[in-house]
A and B are shown apart, each in its own frame.
Chain A
């Protein structure tokens, strides 16, 4: 019998698109990854990367987007932990012109695997990333 691991493992969080909720995101990620026999370093890597993905959206200073929401999804596919951060209000890929933004994107791409930034018609911008589950 095939089990849809994504559906069986999916956890979602919707937050206001505001920096004061970043700690909530980190708590979610820590808790989610800790369900698996993952090394502490891996938990920390993922926490940093997902929080940086949220930063990409929250740094956007467009007032029209300031009150939007971010959707964070965590699920398992095969032997990988997968994370998607969706900003429904965003219309373009994150700006990487500042020191902070370029450092953030560098951290995400270094700490995670299969990092993608994609614009979806009428659904905003999604940053997705994966990490192979390694045992302690």
Chain B
């Protein structure tokens, strides 16, 4: 499945929904689109909704680390929405589960931004 992104700008955060597979072939699209989104954000906070991502590889994980760094540099918060146990397992193996705020639902992710 091709990678698709949808961006919604709210007052206190941007909500980016990602669909499809993220791998070495298309991860640069994610990086570019998120970069463009961050350039125009009123608030530095972001929710990255990955619940409809079927597959992510190390390239995608590396890009998430870069996004996290950039959000932090802008004094913002980043929360991820993850539902797939398979993808959750990759976050556990790589230790990224300790770096990212991870929620099971959109509501929880938005709530974590305000904490």
Taking Cβ atoms with an 8 Å cutoff, the residues of A that contact B are: 19-20, 22-23, 26, 41, 44, 48, 51-52, 55, 58-59, 98-101, 103-104, 106-107, 110-111
The secondary structure that dominates the A interface is helix
> Contact partner of A44 among B23, B59, B86, CB < 8 A?
B86
Q: Which residue of B lies closest to A20 (CB)?
A: B25
Chain B residues positioned under 8 Å from A44 (CB to CB)? 86
Q: Which residue of A lies closest to B1 (CB)?
A: A23
> Contact partner of A22 among B23, B62, B86, CB < 8 A?
B23
**Is B94 touching A55 in the complex (CB atoms < 8 A)?**
no
Q: Complex Cα distance A52/B86, Å? A: 15
Q: How far is the CB of A111 from chain B (nearest CB, A)?
A: 7
Q: Complex Cα distance A38/B28, Å? A: 33
Chain B residues positioned under 8 Å from A19 (CB to CB)? 23-25
> Contact partner of A51 among B23, B66, B94, CB < 8 A?
B23
B49 at the interface (CB under 8 A from A): no
**Is A26 touching B62 in the complex (CB atoms < 8 A)?**
no
Q: Which residue of A lies closest to B86 (CB)?
A: A44
B58 at the interface (CB under 8 A from A): yes
| CB contact under 8 A between A106 and B65, given known A19-B24, A59-B24 | no
Chain A residues positioned under 8 Å from B86 (CB to CB)? 41, 44
